[in-house]
Structure 1
Amino acid sequence: MGRRPLEVAAGDVTIGDPSIKGAHITQTTYGNFQTALLPRKALLRACPNAEDLIAQSIPGANPITSMFLRYYDLAHTYADKLASAELDAVSQHLFDLSVLMIGARGDVAEQARMCGLSAARLETLKSDILAQLDNPALSLTVLSAAHRISPRTIQLMFEQAGITYSGFVLEQRLLRAERLLRNPNLRTRKIIEIAHLAGFHDVSYFHRAFRRRFGRTPDDVRKLSGEMG
């Protein structure tokens, strides 16, 4: 970058300026890299020292950097499923994480933590929960250790979003069970197997919760789905 060599390790982040002539990238090992385009003027307003970080490496082990990368991957994965307003919100969250990552301070940093960082933490939590719905060991304690935040903080994050942690997990497990019951390829699987695949290990509780949520029993949903098919 402008005759300044820089080695970037896997998982690290660097800020480049595409307006600098002569910048080029040489990839020495197999892998992929991603580029995020940030509005230069807004970045400098939020973090005046951003210019000092051109062509310097920001360690990926930094908690904010790690959160930025995880949230970036989530946004990239689900971008085509988001509405325009949701995409705008995600873009703002990524910008907030960027200014925190490069060292914003004061009111700007506080606002970024309240908005972008909180949203990214919640979405990465939700993503981890969805990936582990069928795991009987899924718990606040497990998530707390993985995300390095207290169980109470996790509960507060969900409550601030208008739902409880346990309510979110239950709703997602019920929705998964309902999808599995409608899946024609799983029609020969027993209801107890479907319950386990959705993360329910108390089958009596599963039947009660399912009927309360959908107004039908699991058997009713499966039969109705077969008739419609």
Structure 2
Amino acid sequence: MAKGTDDYIFFMCLEGAATFSHLGREASIEAGQAILLSSSDPHVIERAMSHHLFITIPKAALGPMAANADAALMTPMSCVGEKFLLLTSYVRLLMQEPNLAASELRWLAAKHIQDLVAVVVGATQDATEVAAGRGIRAARLRAIKADIESNLASGDVGSDALAGRHRVSARYIRKLFEGEGTSLSQFVLGRRLALVCSKLSDLRLAHRTIGAIAFDAGFGDLSTFNHAFRRHFGMTPSEARQSAAVHRASLEPGGRTGHARQSATGVAAA
């Protein structure tokens, strides 16, 4: 690649291998390794069936945070340990985020990634403290939320279980959610209620009882579930299911809402 912008390129090899020619030197990395490049100097990358992630960060942003960044150029790094796991998992989760195009979210995500790369490359003490309260915190919280989403049905989403899986203290996890103005239990309850509500609207699950759907979402007591659902959505689960059925029927051909929508959009659709 020819000389380009004044950025750092953090290249992580997930599978396969890659060879780099840069700054008059040559280096190779394989799965589980990473390397830092400078986009302001010509470089060549040869990939051999490589599955990789690379992150471009302005030198003006990373330089003050990682004072030894230039010294780390073209030096293979081992992508093992908690810092790399946080970085790679956070980037992958962001790639699945549908609202990342929003300018504010994109700016925050960029700052978080800069924090994480700085810590991996070698952040200054001040930058490490900033990252702990910003990028590292955001990455951990997003990873924990993804874990909760994956394990809602199992019920294994208490602070102790999450702490064990993420190698942090239960108190730290509780603090993460308190920082968002909520609690772990409130977040889990909200996600379980949202899951049930979504399934009650699914025609393919119309044959399943509300109780079975609630149990599948991790609720262990129907009375508690019914009370929480009504308080959250302002209607009972049965009313929510009926409302979804009426809405679907209105959108079918011949339904009043469907007819009105067709009349209003017929010209545009044509």
Query: Which stretch of the first structure deviates more once superposed, 77-86 or 99-108?
Result: 77-86
Cα offset, 1:68, TM superposition: 0.7
Out of 118, 130, 135, the position equivalent to 1:99 is 118
Provide the rounded CA distance (Å) in 2 between the counterparts of 1:11 and 1:189. 45
Out of 8, 28, 32, the position equivalent to 2:29 is 8
Cα pair 2:99 2:105 within 8 Å, conserved: no
Cα pair 1:79 1:87 within 8 Å, conserved: no
User: Which of the pair has more CA radius of gyration?
Assistant: 2
How many residues are paired up?
227
Higher relative contact order (CA 8 A, sep 6+): 1
Any stretches of 5+ residues in structure 1 without a counterpart? none
The 4+ residue runs of structure 1 with deviation greater than 3 A are 79-82
Corresponding residue number in structure 2 for 1:18 = 39
TM-score scaled by length of structure 2: 0.79
Normalized per residue, the structure richer in helix is 1
Out of 196, 206, 209, the position equivalent to 1:190 is 209
Provide the rounded CA distance (Å) in 2 between the counterparts of 1:80 and 1:214. 24
Any stretches of 5+ residues in structure 2 without a counterpart? 1-20, 249-270
Q: What is the Cα-based RMSD across aligned positions, in Å?
A: 1.7
Cα offset, 1:196, TM superposition: 2.1
Provide the rounded CA distance (Å) in 2 between the counterparts of 1:199 and 1:82. 33
Provide the rounded CA distance (Å) in 1 between the counterparts of 2:50 and 2:44. 20
Provide the rounded CA distance (Å) in 2 between the counterparts of 1:199 and 1:98. 36
Provide the rounded CA distance (Å) in 1 between the counterparts of 2:100 and 2:117. 23
Q: Secondary structure at the match of 1:38?
A: strand
Change (3 A) 1:56 1:122: same
Cα pair 1:13 1:65 within 8 Å, conserved: no
Corresponding residue number in structure 1 for 2:59 = 40
Cα offset, 1:124, TM superposition: 1.0
Counting aligned pairs with the same residue, the percent is: 29
Query: Which stretch of the first structure deviates more once superposed, 53-62 or 181-190?
Result: 53-62
Cα offset, 1:79, TM superposition: 5.0
Change (3 A) 1:82 1:209: farther
Change (3 A) 1:224 1:26: closer
Provide the rounded CA distance (Å) in 2 between the counterparts of 1:39 and 1:138. 38
